[in-house]
Amino acid sequence: MGASGTTLRYCTVAGDEVATTWEQARADLIIEGLPVRVPPTYRGQRSYPGLFWAATNDRTLVYESLLELDRLWLADFDPANVGICTQPFQVAGRDGGGLRAHVPDLLLVHSDRSVTVVDVKPAVFLEKPRVRAQFEWTRALCRGKGWAYEVFTGGDPIVLRNLKLLAVGRRPGRLPNGDLANARARLREEGVTLGKVLARKPFTCDEAAWRVAVFALVWSGAVTIDLRRPLDSETILHATAEVKV
């Protein structure tokens, strides 16, 4: 189960393939690259691959299932993440008496430069010996390198629904000048409801743009809400110190 002799392969942003050892592999280089494989599409397939634009590092990522897409939404909203990539590398090496190769689903680099490798799999598959052995091998490799390892089997559906609604605020730079400043000014009051804030739209602001500005503050973390409750007009918004100044 050791990492000795284990190799890693990834693709640079220019599409060049790089082969290195597991010990020498650098997450800061891998995170900027292209997927080491592109999920296939074919008639009758059970998974739903697609493309996801990540605000975290302003790039489009491939995903190979809706479950993986859910993990991407959570990763993109998490302010601790500064880098996200999918199908980031292939690792190959010995596991006991045999050979093993594996492509994890996500690689996350955090603001403190720590790293998390994520595998996405429905919970029903975790009891299969083949799947369990693969994940145990990957977990051991990550532990030896000082990287965290996560197996994602699903998230809170209410949280995910809320994030998809708030996602219109992921590109605040496209808002007209002054909209964000106006939204901050109206959110200095503690415990104001979403419905009340939306009703306080300035006369000079378009209704759709005003909603985007308010949601942008939530997405950025300048305003917090209880994501475990469905987002509606009674949702309470709490301004952080950034807004209250």
Give pLDDT tens digits for 129-178. Answer: 999 999 999 999 999 999 999 999 999 999 999 999 999 999 988 888 88
Same domain membership, residue 76 and residue 21: yes
- The pairing of beta strand 98-102 with beta strand 106-110: unpaired
> What share of the chain has pLDDT > 70, as a percent?
96
pLDDT number for residue 241: 62
> Which are the contacts of 70, defined by CB distance < 8 A and separation ≥ 6?
152, 154, 155, 160
pLDDT number for residue 244: 39
Same domain membership, residue 171 and residue 224: yes
The single-letter DSSP state of residue 123 is G
pLDDT per position as a tens digit, 167-199 = 999 998 888 888 888 898 888 777 789 999 999
- What type of residue sits at position 213? A
Beta bridge partners of 238: 224
Last residue of a domain, one of 98, 126, 152: 152
Last residue of a domain, one of 135, 152, 169: 152
Rounded to the nearest angstrom, the gap between the alpha carbon of residue 2 and the centroid of all alpha carbons in its chain is 29
Beta carbons of 90 and 103 less than 8 angstroms apart:
yes
